[in-house]
Amino acid sequence: MANRIKAINAYRPQVELGQTVQSEELNRYLADRTGLNEGEVSLVTKELRDAVIFFNRAGRGVKLEGLGSYLPNLQLDGTFDLQHRLDIAVKNGLNTPGVFTGSIKNRENIGKSADDLVALWNAAHPDDPVA
């Protein structure tokens, strides 16, 4: 007997991720659109990283307009990590109708409920239904 999570994961719509953009490609992209060269873009990116660490170490969040906020967070075991709160402009930019150019697996299942996805699983796997 299959579990519900397995069935949902098999049929849910999901982005088919392409190759991750590495720093060098991002630096070229930004250099082409600014007055900076690739080395300067790389340096600014590293300085930005160091600034986030510096201010978060002091217990201060860092808000990057258009990207989001970076906040220090303490785990139960005493280790620190970072919480990122996405700027609404990023989410809205991604959700503009018709702008996504990537591939979506199970696109036909967009809008279906979890119960609908389980029903698809059960129809395709009568020998291994979700109870």
Q: What is the pLDDT of residues 39-95, one digit of tens each?
A: 999 999 999 999 999 999 999 999 999 999 999 999 999 999 999 999 999 999 999
Domain encompassing residue 120:
1-16+108-131
Of residues 54, 53, 87, 56, the one with CA closest to residue 69:
87
Number of domains the chain is built from = 1
Q: Is residue 46 part of a domain?
A: no
Average pLDDT of span 8-22: 97
Whether 47 maps to a domain, the answer reads no
Q: Is 40 left (phi over 0), alpha (psi -120 to 50) or beta?
A: alpha
